């Protein structure tokens, strides 16, 4: 459904900017280009067959049936045509010829570009256990995944095993409980959220899920997905125990979707490497969002990938500016959120390599903040129901405050802004 651009530079089959991926990064790149005054032709190519939508609700309000699809669209459908941004949906880019400045599509056609922005995100990491390909095993990455889970629930699924205690697994578990399912959550590590949060937050969420009726199993592996006639009937754990279920929801991370870029010669081992303005090592090709490995100033310039709306959005803005000639280095405070039950978590900064934590408030009140310190310097905040701490903590991180009085920091009665 290619629509001819109306801009003077547009020739059929050739676009000024081609964006691969219609998720958070891709959509924002197109929006930001127009905001920056770009008047050349823009084409977005995406595997999703529906216009750009938000992913976070897929494990929250959309999965719970509380928000219809129209309310999770990044912009109303009409917006894209109004801004003269063309969408080619349901199409995958399979190859890139960076010297010829063309991308090849799954149907064999070729499309030319002046600048290419790759915002391919990631594919869910697949479960490798025997039986994992059966009907009733679900992932949560795109709208189709969430719709398939909803359909299974509507068809009467009542017992779920969630594999993976990261944010997506925990959020899915919370929604399934809310919808009345029996839920068992399996995590291989000794605590949930082990890769992204400290002990205090992990223990709090484990307890909360247990209080809500989730059977949380830590340090537990999956031996096999059991089934009958190709349909899931249970999960055999590495202890030999079997948990009977009607569905398995897997949330064990993503694999960056960068195959064509790497095959074309772009550098990268964990995703694709980008520089301070999100350029890959291939001429005129940028990469943003979940798949972009970059040196992050809020992690002492460690090369990392961030999987968050903030990162996709702010990298998109960096690239749009760079294409318009304003080469400002990517420098944005990382932030994230997670909703589970009635709890709202907001995080600011990156807790990588923290060597100390300070707890503000009491988790028993379901309202508290964990401050992460590195050599005495605050580097991240996890705020559960403490909006003020989140706002003021962000300011502290942005200001780069080197040292704070630990005792004052631990006192929830002392506003963080007084420690700035």
* Residues forming the site for ligand FAD (CB under 6 A): 20-26, 45-48, 55-56, 58-59, 92-93, 119-121, 140-141, 168, 257, 260, 289-290, 307-310, 312, 336-338
Q: Which residues pair with 43 in a beta bridge?
A: 18, 86
CB of 136 to ligand FAD, least distance (A): 19
Longest C-alpha distance within the chain, in Å? Answer: 67
CB of 243 to ligand FAD, least distance (A): 23
Nearer CB in complex with ligand FAD: 131/166:
166
CB of 114 to ligand FAD, least distance (A): 19
Listed residue (135, 205, 150) closest to 181, CA to CA = 150
Nearer CB in complex with ligand FAD: 348/404:
348
Nearer CB in complex with ligand FAD: 274/409:
274
Q: What is the SS3 assignment for the chain?
A: CCCCCCCCCCECCEEEEEEECCCHHHHHHHHHHHHCCCCCCEEEEECCCCCCECCHHHHCCCCCCCCCHHHHECCCHHHHHHCCEEEEECCCEEEEECCCCEEEECCCCEEEEEEEEECCCEEECCCCCECCCCECEEECCCHHHHHHHHHHHHCCCCEEEEECCCHHHHHHHHHHHHCCCEEEEECCCCCCCCCCCCHHHHHHHHHHHHHCCCEEECCCCEEEEEEECCEEEEEEECCCCEEECCEEEECCCEEECCHHHHHCCCCCCCCEECCCCCECCCCCEEECHHHEEEEEHHHCCEEECCCCHHHHHHHHHHHHHHHCCCCCCCCCCCEEEEEECCEEEEEEECCCCCCEEEEEEEHHHCEEEEEEEECCEEEEEEEECCHHHHHHHHHHHHHCCCCCCHHHHCCCCCCHHHHC
Nearer CB in complex with ligand FAD: 335/368:
335
Nearer CB in complex with ligand FAD: 48/187:
48
CB of 124 to ligand FAD, least distance (A): 8
Nearer CB in complex with ligand FAD: 243/319:
319
CB of 294 to ligand FAD, least distance (A): 12
CB of 105 to ligand FAD, least distance (A): 8
Nearer CB in complex with ligand FAD: 131/290:
290
CB of 411 to ligand FAD, least distance (A): 29
Question: CA-to-CA distance for 121 and 44, rounded, in angstroms?
Answer: 14
CB of 343 to ligand FAD, least distance (A): 13
Nearer CB in complex with ligand FAD: 22/102:
22
CB of 23 to ligand FAD, least distance (A): 2
Nearer CB in complex with ligand FAD: 16/307:
307
CB of 50 to ligand FAD, least distance (A): 10
Question: CA-to-CA distance for 183 and 170, rounded, in angstroms?
Answer: 11
Nearer CB in complex with ligand FAD: 307/314:
307
């Amino acid at each position: 459904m290619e629509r001819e651009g109306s801009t003077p530079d547009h020739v059929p089959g050739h676009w000024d900017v081609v964006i691969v991926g219609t998720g958070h990064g891709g959509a924002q790149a197109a929006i930001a280009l127009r905001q920056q005054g770009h008047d050349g032709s823009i084409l977005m190519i995406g595997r999703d067959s529906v216009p750009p939508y938000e992913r976070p609700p897929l494990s929250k309000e959309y999965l719970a049936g509380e928000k219809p699809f129209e309310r999770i669209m990044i912009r109303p459908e009409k917006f894209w045509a109004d801004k003269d941004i063309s969408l080619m949906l349901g199409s995958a880019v399979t190859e890139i010829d960076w010297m010829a400045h063309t991308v090849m599509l799954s149907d064999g056609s070729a499309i030319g570009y002046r600048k290419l922005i790759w915002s391919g995100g990631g594919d869910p990491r697949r479960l490798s256990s025997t039986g994992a390909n059966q009907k009733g095993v679900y992932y949560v990455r795109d709208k189709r995944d969430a719709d398939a889970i909803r359909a299974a629930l509507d068809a009467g699924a009542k017992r779920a095993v969630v594999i993976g205690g990261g944010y997506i697994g925990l959020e899915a578990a919370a929604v399934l409980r809310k919808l009345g399912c029996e839920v068992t959550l399996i995590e291989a590590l000794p605590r949930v959220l082990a890769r992204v949060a400290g002990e205090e937050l992990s223990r709090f969420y484990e307890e909360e899920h247990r209080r809500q009726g989730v059977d949380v199993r830590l340090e537990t592996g999956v031996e096999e997905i059991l089934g009958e006639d190709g349909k899931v009937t249970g999960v055999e754990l590495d202890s030999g125990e079997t948990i009977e279920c009607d569905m398995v929801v897997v949330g064990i991370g993503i694999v960056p979707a960068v195959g064509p870029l790497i095959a074309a010669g772009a550098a990268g081992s964990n995703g694709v490497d980008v520089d301070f303005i999100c350029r890959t090592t291939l001429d005129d090709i940028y990469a943003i969002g979940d798949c972009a490995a970059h040196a992050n100033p809020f992690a002492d310039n460690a090369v990392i990938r961030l999987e968050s709306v903030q990162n996709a959005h702010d990298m998109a803005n960096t690239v749009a500016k760079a294409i318009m000639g304003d080469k400002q280095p990517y420098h944005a405070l990382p932030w994230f959120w997670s909703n589970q039950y009635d709890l709202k978590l907001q995080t600011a900064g990156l807790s990588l390599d923290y060597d100390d934590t300070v707890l503000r408030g009491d988790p028993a009140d379901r309202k508290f903040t964990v401050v992460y310190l590195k050599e005495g310097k605050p580097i991240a905040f996890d705020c559960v129901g403490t909006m003020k701490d989140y706002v003021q903590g962000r300011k502290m991180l942005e200001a780069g405050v080197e040292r704070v009085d630990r005792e004052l920091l631990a006192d929830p009665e002392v506003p963080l802004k007084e420690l700035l």
